[in-house]
Structures are given as C-alpha cells and as structure tokens.
Amino acid sequence: MAQAQVKGRKSDTYKQTIKAGTHSLVSDADKEFGGNAEGPNPHELLLSSLGACTSITLQMYAQRKNWDLQEVVVDLKEEEVEDPNEAGKKTTKVTRNISVSGNLEPDQVDGLKAIADKCPIHKILVGHKIIATEIKKLTSV
C-alpha cells in the first residue's frame, strides 16, 4: 500500500509540502496561477509518476529477460484536445514517447512497448478507480 501526505498552508501561498514514504518534496502552482513555481505543479508530478513507473517497469522486465537495456528515457506531454467520441467536448491526451538504448533486437523493443502499458500507474490512470474523499476540520495550529 502506498501512502502520501500533502500539506498546504496559507502562508506558503500554493506551495505544498509532500511526504511520500520516507521522502520529502514540494509542489507548487505556476506563477501564472498565483504560485511561486517552487516545485513541479500537480500535472507535472502526475506525468513524472507515469514516466518513472514506465521506466522502472521496462527496466525490471528487461532484467528478468536478460536483455541489454542500458537506458530508458520517457518524455511525456499532457494537452487538452477535442474528444473524438463527443463532438464539441474536450478531453485530456497524454503522449508518452519512450526511447531505449542497448543491444536490443527489434522484437525486444516491440516487447518493451507492450510492457509499458502494464506499468501500475498506467493501469491506475486508464482503469476503473475509486477515490474516496473524507474531510474533517483540524484544530488550529
């Protein structure tokens, strides 16, 4: 089970302090939205999560197969596009371009492409999900 905690304080504008496992990082809104851009914005974090999971999944798969995968580079872009299923509506499109290096045969590169869609974050993003939200009022700090 993965866990994370995100804290935002009025005094920090939109900067968010994130604790994920034993790691700490920050996220912030871009300056055009009133933040100070002190860290990646939430969209960049989401893309980074998909990219990291993709790369790790390919590395693990290649290692199990004893393939010579030397490097994985995942470039991601999120954009709003016309929804092909609903005229006049917009939808989100994420483009994931993967580059690999190493002594790999064409069928191995094809195998890596197929495995990319099996990374757990990809499955979360495209699959059925439940997000349960609860809220409570904290005592003053």
pLDDT digits (tens, 9 = 90+) for 10-30: 999 999 999 999 999 999 999
* pLDDT value of residue 139: 84
Q: What does pLDDT average to over the chain?
A: 95
pLDDT in tens, 50-92: 999 999 999 999 999 999 999 999 999 999 999 998 999 999 9
> Which tens digits make up the pLDDT trace of 97-108?
999 999 999 999
What sign has the CA pseudo-torsion 68, 115, 47, 74?
positive
Please report the pLDDT score of residue 141 as a whole number. Answer: 61
- pLDDT tens for 113-136 read 999 999 999 999 999 999 999 999
Contact (CB, 8 A) for 32 and 41: no
Kindly report the CA angle at 77 between 121 and 104, in degrees rounded to 5?
70
Query: Residue 90: what pLDDT?
Result: 94
Contact 54, 74 (CB under 8 A): yes
- Strand 16-20's sheet: what is its strand order? 4-8, 16-20, 23-27
Is residue 37 within 8 A of residue 13, CB to CB? The reply is no
pLDDT tens across 80-89, in order? 999 998 999 9
56: its two tokens: 């790790």
